[in-house]
């Protein structure tokens, strides 16, 4: 959760293994998708591995992750304009072949300790 209340949550689906529900919520925002926690690239870790690797980031270097279905993406970096914070960009979207395509981009500034705790919580799923 960002200090102003914007919050990213990830919980397991009750319907199938490897499935997660991703929510981005704020004052007047609520976006939610059901997706998988495996990456679209074979060389990238599962989602919990991505968050664990964010703790080792160096300034000016970013890490990116994209879900297998490409409806959920993350990017994290240590931005010199926000010392001591992780700049986390979140993309959620529904780009199926129906008439209700949508996309949400959110940005959170969080403490590295929050990211580490989040990674540990995800590894327990």
CATH architecture for segment(s) 38-123: Roll (3.10)
pTM for this prediction? 0.86
How many degrees, rounded to 5, is the angle at CA 16 between CA 11 and CA 20? 25
pLDDT in tens, the chain (125 residues): 776 788 999 999 887 887 899 999 988 889 988 888 878 877 666 888 888 888 788 887 899 999 888 899 999 999 888 888 999 999 998 766 666 788 899 999 988 888 888 888 888 87
* DSSP sequence for 8-63: EEEEE-SSSTTEEEEEEEETTEEEEEEEESSBSSTTSPPHHHHHHHHTT--TT-EE
């Amino acid at each position: 959760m960002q200090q102003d209340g914007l919050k990213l949550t990830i919980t397991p689906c009750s319907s199938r293994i490897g499935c997660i529900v991703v929510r981005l919520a704020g004052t007047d925002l609520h976006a939610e998708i059901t997706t998988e926690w495996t990456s679209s690239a074979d060389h990238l870790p599962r989602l919990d591995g991505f968050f664990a690797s964010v703790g080792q980031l160096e300034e000016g270097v970013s890490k990116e992750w994209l879900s297998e279905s490409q409806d959920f993406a993350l990017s994290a970096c240590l931005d010199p304009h926000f010392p001591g914070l992780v700049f986390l960009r979140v993309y959620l979207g529904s780009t199926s072949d129906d008439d209700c395509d949508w996309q949400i981009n959110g940005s959170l500034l969080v403490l590295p300790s929050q990211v580490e705790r989040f990674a540990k919580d995800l590894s327990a799923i």
